[in-house]
Structure 1
Amino acid sequence: MSFHIEYPRTIPARRPGDFAPAAPKFQVRWSAPVTTVVADYIAVQRQPSDLGAERAFFDRARAAFASPWGPDCFDEVRCTDEAGFANSIVIAYWVDLTRYAAWKHRDAFNGWFASPDREKEAVGHWRETLVVPYDRVETIFSEPYYRAGIARTNGCELEPMYVAGYFGAMRDRLPISAVDPLDSPHGDEAPEGGFDAGAGRRIRIDVPPNVVNIRSGQYWARAEGEQLDDYYANLQPKLDTGMAYLKDHAGTTGCLSLRSLVALDREGNELRETSKHGYFLSLAPLERWAASHKSHLDIFRHALAKRRQYGAERSVVTWHEVFVIGSTPSFEYVNCHSGTGLLRFAQIWGSGVARP
């Protein structure tokens, strides 16, 4: 039997009546109790041509992760941001908070990252660390055979579930949503971000509660023929359109940051595997977009149509993991341009790191 937490509901579920999807989706469950999930996003920000900086950074991270306290798993990904910089990112996952704390305290990587030398380099670095209680985490996979992100941590399986296929299901899958509306202290409209002085500085951002971190993935390495053609001709453009709308209408969608990540192999080659990584002010504005805007409805209807068409033969996998931030984490940006992650909100959520 797998571990899970449920609370007696004081807030009604969003499921309409006795709705059930025609086929199950799949979610991550662990065989032993998990109280906290850690996802540590760490990156070097560089010129696209500077692959040496990427290799050096990945080599350093791999060596650090090989320690006895290292992560259960980690991904290496790459993205190009709106300013034209390449960001080479490791995403490391732990499901044991004590082991993560030991790694952060003992491994030399963390001293290297904290060194003032990083502020003087030709490249930037950033770190967005999520330490989230189990009841603020939810996952969904369209197929059970493919694992990504947190689904590759120790002691977990992908189990079938039926809390899916309706608007509001993402919220309903979060155990904490039974007793907490997960509202933002800022209301539903994202604040204006106008900070523009990140270069040569180390700045911490204190993220407010109930900000949503979502990593939404696409895997098409097994796709061939018409399914592969459909991915490139239909699904990928729909995803790009949805991403653009979220970013261009941040005031109403609650979008604080959104990245397009490409998965890499150990030689730095790009794989047929991507993910969209975003931060949103809260669940509510993201849910409104999902339920009502054409850019998401097109994605949603396409998924349903392809499931009906191919059934168990569907070879394009979609998935996501959602963390709703509880306590206030500190994200750190070192010598980065002001459009990096949440750095543009430094004037309201940020502070410089004082040096002796």
Structure 2
Amino acid sequence: MESAIDTHLKCPRTLSRRVSEDYTPPFPMFVARGDKAIQQTVMAYFGVQFEDESKRPQALAAFQHIIGTFSLADGPLSHDLTHHVDNQDHHNLMAVAYWTDPAAYCRWLRSDDVNGWWSADERLDEGLGYFREIIAPRADQFETLYAFTEDFPGIGGVMGERGTGSTVSGEIEEHGYWGSMRDRIPASQVDWMEATEDLVVVSGDPSKDGRVIVRGHDNIAVIRSGQEWSAAGEEERNLFFDEILPSLQDGMDFLRDNGAEMGCYSNRFVRSIDIDGNELDESYNIGHWRALDKLERWAESHPTHLRIFVTFFRVVAGLEKLRLYHEVSVSDAKDQMFEYINCHPQTGMMRDAQALA
């Protein structure tokens, strides 16, 4: 048994863990181990939004253009593609991309091919919405958790040397209890990771078409929580669709529609797709929260999550091919970017952002 926090990220604790030192988890779970040279990562969400089904071919072409820029110099080490319909009945195609070198990301972002396309006036007149939501947590500001030990999705797939797949921990101590998510984040040893400011619209007007930029704040928490069943047999597929998915869908819909009162800025339950828009056997939730404590409070007390948690505890020990995981991060305001073009005003950070005084 070992700590989820890697040895090079450990420091003398000034804040206690949520469990006693002799705690033993009820089942095995694992985390990704990264290259010690990685000091900061970039987790980027690029979206194309459309309402009218007739716009799908145009939206898919724009989406494929964005994905094509990933192959340029300094592009992401890994990416995956998703689709979801939000509670305003808009379709959203979203690419999720990962870097382990923020400098490479900045060079890519500022390149003529990338910046020129995003900044072009044509983006304002296409009848499509676009968004970029970027966070860049330091190595001590995020954690991972897996019920499996290889082929990690998301950030866990790029944390090795030169962007290769991560190594894996042994069985870890910090899981299976309320507060374990926080205890796996190295910064929790010395930092409460609280939010002290608000989202602010610094450019544009969310109620009108055009470009909108939202300024974030320290310690926005982002969770990606996934389920992948491509290799699962009939029994595990039935387990997912009949037992896990119903409670999961209820919880995700609740946060999508009522998240503001819980401190959840945005919640998207997405289905993985290929580059042509065909569905794959994977889904995940992307949730942006005001701070980690808001996410914890919902997880520990709200019926929609308690049903998810109870179901997970009941089935996890018997899983073989059904892959469940998550990654959670916080980040500093200076390491965030939230930009929207012609998106409806309930999109992402715009819903809860205050007008600049």
Task: Mark yes or no: TM-score above 0.5.
Answer: yes
Q: Which amino acid in structure 2 is aligned with residue 178 of structure 1?
A: Q
Of 212, 215, 225 in structure 1, the residue corresponding to residue 221 of structure 2 is 212
Q: 1:268 aligns with which of 270, 277, 282?
A: 277
In structure 2, the CA distance between the partners of 1:64 and 1:169, relative to structure 1 (3 Å rule), is: same
Structure 2: how far apart are the matches of 1:99 and 1:338?
31
Aligned partners of 1:196, 1:241: CA distance in 2, in Å?
A: 32
Q: CA deviation at 1:196?
A: 7.8
Partner of 1:31: 35
Extract unaligned runs of 5+ from structure 1. Answer: 352-356
Please provide the CA RMSD for this pair.
2.3
The equivalent of 1:163 in structure 2 is 174
Answering whether residue 310 of structure 2 is matched by residue 325 of structure 1, we say no
Q: Which moved more, 1:148-157 or 1:88-97?
A: 148-157
Quick one: which of 183, 189, 192 aligns to 1:181? 192
Match of 2:22 among 18, 22, 26: 18
Cα distance in 1, alignment partners of residues 31 and 54 from structure 2: 39
Cα 1:119–1:243 change in 2 (3 A) is same
2:3 alignment counterpart: none
| TM-score relative to the length of structure 1 | 0.89
Q: Secondary structure at the match of 2:352?
A: helix
Secondary structure of 1:345's aligned partner:
coil
**Aligned CA distance change for structure 1 residues 8 and 284 (closer, same or farther; 3 Å):** same
Residue among 105, 111, 127 paired with 1:100: 105
Distance 1:102 1:52, change over 3 A: same
Gaps of 5+ in 2: 1-5
1:256 to 254, 265, 287: 265
Normalising by structure 2, report the TM-score.
0.89
1:176-219 residue CA offsets vs partner (Å, 9 max, x unmatched): 111111112159xx99xxx9844421010001111111111111
Equivalent position of 1:128 in the other structure: 133
Partners of 1:250 and 1:256 within 8 A in 2: yes
Distance 1:347 1:22, change over 3 A: closer
Q: Contact 2:44–2:134 (CA<8 Å) still a contact in 1?
A: yes
1:252, distance to aligned residue in structure 2 (A): 4.5
Instruction: Report the Cα offset of residue 223 of structure 1.
Output: 1.9
The number of equivalent residue pairs is 341
Aligned to 2:94: 89
Task: Say whether residues 1:141 and 2:142 are aligned partners.
Answer: no
Determine what percentage of the aligned residue pairs are the same residue: 32
Separation in 1, partners of 2:339, 2:330? 19
Q: Say if 1:235 and 1:299, in contact at 8 Å, map to a contact too.
A: yes
**CA–CA separation in structure 2 for the residues paired with 1:177 and 1:225:** 40
Q: CA deviation at 1:107?
A: 4.6
Q: Distance in 2 between matches of 1:87 and 1:212?
A: 22
Q: Decide whether aligned partners of structure 1 residues 181 and 84 sit closer, same or farther in structure 2, where only a CA change above 3 A counts.
A: same
- SS of the residue corresponding to residue 83 of structure 2 reads strand
Question: In structure 1, what is the Cα distance between the partners aligned to 2:7 and 2:63?
Answer: 34
The residue type paired with residue 134 of structure 1 is A
- Give the letter aligned to residue 314 of structure 1: E
CA deviation digits over 1:269-320, x for unaligned, max 9?
Answer: 1011011111111111211221222322221221221134x2xx53221111
CA distance in 2, matches of 1:245, 1:58: 28
| Distance in 1 between residues matched to 2:282 and 2:44, nearest whole Å | 20
Amino acid at match of 1:74: H
Deviations 1:112-164 (A, max 9, x none): 11223212221111110111111111111111134211122123223232311
Q: Which residue type is aligned with residue 131 of structure 2?
A: W
